[in-house]
Amino acid sequence: MSHPLDTLPATQVLRAPYAADPAASRGRRYPEPAPRFRSEFQRDRDRIIHASAFRRLEYKTQVFVNHEGDLFRTRLTHTLEVAQIGRTVARTLGLNEDLVEAIALAHDLGHTPFGHAGQDALNACMQPYGGFEHNLQSIRVVDELEQRYAEFPGLNLCFETREGILKHCSRANARELGELGRRFLDRTQPSLEAQLTNLADEIAYNSHDVDDGLRAGLISIEALRETRLLRRLFDEVERRHPHLDTRRRIYQAVRLLIDSMVADLVESSARAIREAGVMSIEDVRAAGETLIRFSPQMRDETLELKRFLFKNLYRHHRVYRMVAKAKNTLRALFQAFLEDPALMPPQQYTLALEAEHRDGERGRARVVADYVAGMTDRFAIAEHARLFDPAERS
Ligand code: MG
């Protein structure tokens, strides 16, 4: 008699024909033997979780700086929310959950400390040297900066995972990236798994920024009701539960917000996949447009919500002052290290000398940008004090 274990290889899950197939991967930059117990995409996910850049996500933030409170999202909790939302939609649509999870866990690895403010400041500093873009930096992290394995630099991830991490890219940068950049030049589409992770990211930050913004007292329920989407959801909460306390009302609305965006995404993507008639990942790539998408109504409503958050949260006076401080901190660190790379730890100093030997000042600046971008919020703050405050130990 056969035992269930005989017929249950852990890596085999039913998937739609348009899903990415790990057995048909375009492969890794440095060929490796196939894993014994995992699919290629599972192996990618595991390598990402073991990366030091992944652990640093815990002390990096998006909107609120780390020391403002322990309840706010960090890049790590944001990343987990993206993975969780992505996996649900992937399973519903018959896509490859492991690939979605790997892309989601890696999607923010290249982010600087202090969220968008840090990215803007570092990009401004790097203008003479080719700029700084967090998407490209995520690729640099997984391709080069993580030095852990004996056989290759970086994490040596599959093409499909790297393709998903590189959400967007300028044509100039795309030309330098070879095969990975080609779709930005010939305008083909990435896998459905990559498309999905992109929108799971949007669902996650739209909803947790509403939650965090309300919790911080920077936005109010009344103000949020200016947006069609939140007005509808708060009305629904009040109709169903008229006597809820504020905290539960907020949580209930945020829960409905995630739920309604996910439901809309599943339904309209399923319709688009059906109508496009795609039966393979090649069909997906040639489809001429992305198939994982919101309905036109949800797209308008989430756009309205994003505009609201931009104006009322990301540009809020308190956030804006923090942004200014964050930019000054990063700018000062960058300039000090660029002027005198010996101020960096010996390992980075050596890298800077080597890069300068190869590419001149451009090379040195890239090593400084890598070092600064890799910092957590609290490390950047402490490093700034050590460099500029004579009373601090260096
Ligand atoms: Mg993100």
Q: Give residue-wise pLDDT tens across range 110-131.
A: 999 998 899 999 999 999 999 9
The pLDDT score that the predictor gives to residue 9 is 56
**CA 198 to centroid of ligand 1, rounded, Å:** 8
pLDDT above 90 coverage of the chain, percent = 82
Contact 363, 351 (CB under 8 A): no
DSSP SS3 for 36: coil
**CA 107 to centroid of ligand 1, rounded, Å:** 6
Q: At what angle do helices 317-339 and 115-125 cross, to 10 degrees?
A: 40
Which of these ranges, 9-13, 39-43, 52-56, has the smallest mean pLDDT? 9-13
**CA 242 to centroid of ligand 1, rounded, Å:** 34
The pLDDT score that the predictor gives to residue 2 is 74
Averaged over 251-258, what is the pLDDT? 96
Residue 250 predicted with pLDDT over 90: yes
The enclosing H or E element of 220 equals none
**CA 264 to centroid of ligand 1, rounded, Å:** 20
**CA 57 to centroid of ligand 1, rounded, Å:** 11
For 363-380, what is each residue's pLDDT tens digit?
A: 999 999 999 999 999 999
The pLDDT score that the predictor gives to residue 347 is 95
**CA 240 to centroid of ligand 1, rounded, Å:** 32
Contact 133, 123 (CB under 8 A): yes
Instruction: Please list the alpha-helical segments (H only) found in the chain.
Output: 40-49, 52-56, 75-93, 97-106, 115-125, 134-140, 159-165, 171-176, 182-186, 192-215, 221-224, 228-240, 246-276, 281-285, 296-309, 317-339, 346-359, 361-373, 377-388
Residue 10 predicted with pLDDT over 60: no
For 164-201, what is each residue's pLDDT tens digit?
A: 999 988 888 899 898 999 999 999 999 999 999 999 99
**CA 87 to centroid of ligand 1, rounded, Å:** 15
Half-sphere exposure in the Cβ direction for 377 (13 Å, CA):
23
The pLDDT score that the predictor gives to residue 110 is 96
The pLDDT score that the predictor gives to residue 64 is 64
**CA 104 to centroid of ligand 1, rounded, Å:** 8
What confidence category does residue 277 fall into, taking pLDDT thresholds of 50, 70 and 90?
very high
Pick the closest to residue 254 from 206, 298, 301, 299 (CA basis): 206
pLDDT above 70 coverage of the chain, percent = 95
What confidence category does residue 69 fall into, taking pLDDT thresholds of 50, 70 and 90?
low
Q: At what angle do helices 115-125 and 361-373 cross, to 10 degrees?
A: 170
What confidence category does residue 18 fall into, taking pLDDT thresholds of 50, 70 and 90?
very high
Length of the chain: 394
The pLDDT score that the predictor gives to residue 65 is 58
Predicted TM-score of the model (pTM): 0.94
For 298-354, what is each residue's pLDDT tens digit?
A: 999 999 999 999 999 888 888 888 889 899 999 999 999 999 999 999 999 999 999
**CA 85 to centroid of ligand 1, rounded, Å:** 12
Which of these ranges, 9-13, 149-153, 235-239, has the smallest mean pLDDT? 9-13
**CA 109 to centroid of ligand 1, rounded, Å:** 9
What confidence category does residue 71 fall into, taking pLDDT thresholds of 50, 70 and 90?
low
Tokens at 237, concatenated? 């909460």
